[in-house]
Structure 1
Amino acid sequence: MADTFTQIYIQIVFAVQNRNAQIHRDWEEELFKYITGIVQNKGQKMLAINGTSNHIHFFIGMKPTCCLSDLVREVKKSSDAMVKGKGFTSKKFKWQEGFGAFSYSHSQLGNVIHYIENQKEHHRKKTFEEEYLAFLKAFEIEFRDEYLFQWFDD
């Protein structure tokens, strides 16, 4: 019997909405583990996850049956509830609307994983806004400024 064989690798990026309720280093690891669990429970493979106080990146091996928008919606909704439920911040924590998703070939896995693992060092030289706009340009994605994230740089 024939089967379906795929290699689909996607990097997802999204941002925190409220500048006063950002991701703190003392609880980010628990957040990243929680998000990893959501991704794995949805049958996808987490390859890397990291971020800074104002945004996160995660990189997955995605099955063709996965609806990316549904996955990201569930990650945001559930992780938002987890942050609130654990009382990680006294401010109103919420993810901004929308996300970026960028696809890669198998030959790029190592580079993308390394990039995500080194987010904090990377952002000492480049803001989130500069990084995100560079992704949109490199992937030749048309966009309108009014539909981009609100930029809260460290």
Structure 2
Amino acid sequence: MTQPIIKLNPHLFFGGNCREAMEFYKSVFGGELVLTLYGEGPPDAHKDPKANSEEMKSKVMFAKLSGVITLLASDNPNNTEAENTGQFGLSLEGSDESIFKGYFDKLAEKGQITAPLIKQFWGDTFGMVTDLYGVNWMVNITANRD
């Protein structure tokens, strides 16, 4: 019996700046960005009256960045204030040092490095950064174990 293919894609919620954040992530990771706005659906399409408000029509109902990673996001109609999402971290792992160092450096622009990207005792290069949108990232560059 074969196992089903399962993907776990993070979905980030923003307080009104989802488009800006996702365009930033596209500049970091590349890929294709597709955005759907709350106002693009039929009137009263959402059960939540806040999602049907004039204020939300220009906000992002669903965003998907597809490429080397898949990242989903939306603006939260119940929270229109930008906030630090720091309750979790997204972990990137790979073996191409130049690519992953580039991701780390771009995520750190206007953000905060919480652990420098350095060689660790377990052999990998690891660092942590909180980006300008309050999302915590862990970058692990795997050591060549040949």
Structure with larger Rg: 2
TM norm structure 1:
0.26
Q: TM-score if structure 2 supplies the norm length?
A: 0.27
